Amino acid sequence: MTLTDEKIAELKAKYGELHQLSHDGESVVVTRPNRQQWKKFRAFMNDDRKRGDAIESLLRECVVHPSLDELNSLLEVKPGLAEAFGSSVVELAGAAKTEAVEKKVL
């Protein structure tokens, strides 16, 4: 994923601090989850019926690039990336530490 300086500036102006996550040759740009997003994630984690979708839901709420349609296409091919990237989003929230995913502040 290559972002132009202009696109990075546009995303920063709209979302603030950005983080690029890379794993298995793929990258996404995310924001740190806010308190409301975190509470929704925790509620999903505590609901047996929604627990399996919790981390992917949190990832989707925090991704700012690529588009959600492009993310959906990527996850159709590599569904495990939802957990890899989502775990890093959890780490950005201050809850866990992972080593497998490279994080780069843009």
Give SS3 for 92.
Answer: helix
At residue 100, the pLDDT reads 54
Q: Average pLDDT, whole number, for the chain?
A: 90
Give me 15's structure tokens: 């979302």
Q: What is the pLDDT of residues 50-66, one digit of tens each?
A: 988 999 999 999 999 99
Domains of the chain are 5-105 (3.30.2220.10)
The pTM assigned to this predicted structure is 0.84
Q: Does residue 51 contact residue 45 with C-beta atoms inside 8 Å?
A: yes
SS3 72: helix
CA 94/CA 82 separation, integer angstroms: 18
